[in-house]
Chains A and B, each alone.
Chain A
Amino acid sequence: MVLSIEDALITRGSFSLHINGIFPSGIHLITGKTGSGKTTLAEALIGRIVPEIGTIKCTGISKKMLAMQAAERHVTTSTVTREIASFGADRDKVLFQAGLRGYENRQILSLSRGELKKLILMCILTSHFELIILDEPYAGLDCTAKKMISDTISTTIPDFRSDICIILTHDLSSLPPVDYLWEIINGKLIFLGQMPDALFHWNMDFKPLKYLLSEKITPANIDQKSLMEAACRIRESVPE
């Protein structure tokens, strides 16, 4: 199972995005500044945008899903239960993991932005899609919900070892451990490598990582647990 892109080019007015790369199974993180083209890339990878030149090919992938930043764009039914059923997801599992037990018969559009986003993300993450693309999954979520989403990603994706999960975000505060790191710079998708070596080539302004690297400590990964573990090493190395 692999997603491969060969010399693809997408242009919109004066903006252009060059994409090249191979996405094997695992969790991929793609970062980039506001307006760098993350959403355009997500739509191209899922097949909603066809590049003017080049090819984007899914090999061995039959079920794929893009989780859009605006969760309301996913809504097709009127109640929470019906919405979960529309994804073919396990109702009880979704309600439990999204913290929405007791909301079964609520009108879907009466949910708050955060509640709706949690519901849609949980429907997607607990259904078995072979390719999942998450466009700004943390936008609008509080820290408890962000952690819940990341925990679900890190426990679900490795269960299906052949799945590909691609997270596109500028919110780095509650990420799951990731396998591969990518970055969009000046209209080009660049592969930075595997963790943790890729962190040395990363341009994002992420203060917790900068703090660790300035202390010559490399975290094993980019999730909070790895960052805290690395911070402990700094304190352990300071003589009392």
Chain B
Amino acid sequence: MITFTGIVHPPLFIPELCITPGHTAIIGPNGSGKTTLLRMLAGFITPIEGEITIRGISGPSDSVGWVDENPDRNILFSRVYDEISSSLRFSHLPSDEIEQKVSGICTTWSIDHLLNRRMEELSGGEKITVALAAATINTPEILILDEPDAHLDKTLWHTIINHIKKINPDYSIVATHQMEIASEADQLIYLEKGTIMHCGTPEKVFSQLKETCYYPLLWRMRNGSQY
């Protein structure tokens, strides 16, 4: 369990929040604090006030995979192989072990054909997939995806979710503006103006958003609710 207690860090104000293991989606208007929440969880920023605990231990996890919304912001190196292997190299792993792990993760993500390509030649979707491979090569405890769907169509997103399930991080947390994607999460969080307005199963959270454009279109078409 991940808990947030007494968090004050503008624009965020979170008296209490629990994130359960599994797949969590975070939704909310632009500027509501989704990215700040994710960055805090990743340990990139420390809350001005309050505490985050992971499995009862205070402070950020040292096993986090991060994928930024802007594919170019994930890139450190010019070649795909170097990008994917970077965290292993920084950890001074032996070369043969690095090669083995890179080969394994590329098979998982079906990107063996990209290994010798230059990052700048890749499409936005390919860059995100490479970033996912780099973020998951060490099987992180927490995998964080900040609006990856901006560059991914639904088919590719479902492929990615299936890969994430295979890698099976304890927590996968995604900020998204696609309500279809959000409706498939185990847990859904709705943020507005830095505050957690709703948290629970997608059914529970969306039932409280029926009067807004956040309610999934297909659900609205099926039950005829208006807003």
Contact = CB atoms under 8 A, between A and B. Distances in A.
Interface stretch (A57-65, A159-167, A189-197, A227-235): A227-235
A33 B226 CA distance: 31
A218 to B, nearest CB: 14
Interface string A171-206: 101100000000000000000000000000000010
B30 A208 contact: no
B154 interface: yes
Interface stretch (A75-83, A125-133, A141-149): A141-149
B146 to A, nearest CB: 10
A12 B121 contact: yes
Interface string B64-99: 000001101000000000000000000000000000
A228 B220 contact: yes
Given A33-B155, A35-B123, A208-B221, A144 B213 contact: yes
Given A34-B153, A142-B29, A171 B126 contact: no
A205 B155 contact: yes
Given A35-B125, A112-B30, A207-B218, A142 B177 contact: yes
Given A140-B69, A207-B218, A173 B29 contact: no
A228 B221 contact: yes
Contacts of A232: 224
Contacts of A147: 213
B151 A139 contact: yes
Interface in B98-133: 117, 121, 123-126
A104 interface: no
Size range of the interface on A? 35 or more
Nearest to A111: B31
B180 interface: yes
A146 B177 CA distance: 10
A136 interface: yes
Contacts of B155: 33, 205
A39 interface: yes
A145 B31 CA distance: 12
Contacts of A174: 213
B20 interface: no
A211 interface: yes
Contact of A231 (B121, B125, B212, B224): B224
A113 interface: yes
Contacts of B177: 138, 140-143, 146
A113 B217 contact: no
A221 interface: no
A235 B217 contact: no
Contacts of B180: 173, 207
A11 to B, nearest CB: 12
Contact of B154 (A138, A205, A211): A205
A144 to B, nearest CB: 6
Interface string B193-220: 0000000000000000000111001101
A240 to B, nearest CB: 14
B179 A34 contact: no
A118 B121 CA distance: 28
Contact of A143 (B69, B117, B156, B213): B213
Interface in B141-191: 147, 149-156, 177-180
Contacts of B221: 208, 211-212, 227-228, 231
A143 B179 CA distance: 9
Nearest to A38: B123
A114 interface: yes
B222 interface: yes
Given A139-B150, A143-B213, A170-B152, 15 more contacts: A33-B155, A34-B156, A112-B31, A113-B30, A115-B30, A115-B31, A140-B69, A142-B177, A143-B214, A145-B30, A208-B218, A211-B221, A224-B217, A228-B226, A231-B224
12 contacts: A13-B117, A13-B121, A35-B123, A112-B30, A113-B30, A140-B150, A142-B177, A171-B149, A173-B217, A205-B154, A211-B222, A231-B220
Interface of A: 12-13, 33-35, 39, 69-70, 112-115, 118, 136, 138-147, 170-171, 173-174, 205, 207-208, 211-212, 224, 227-228, 231-232, 235
What 5 A-B pairs come out closest when comparing CB atoms?
A: A114-B30, A34-B125, A143-B213, A231-B221, A139-B150
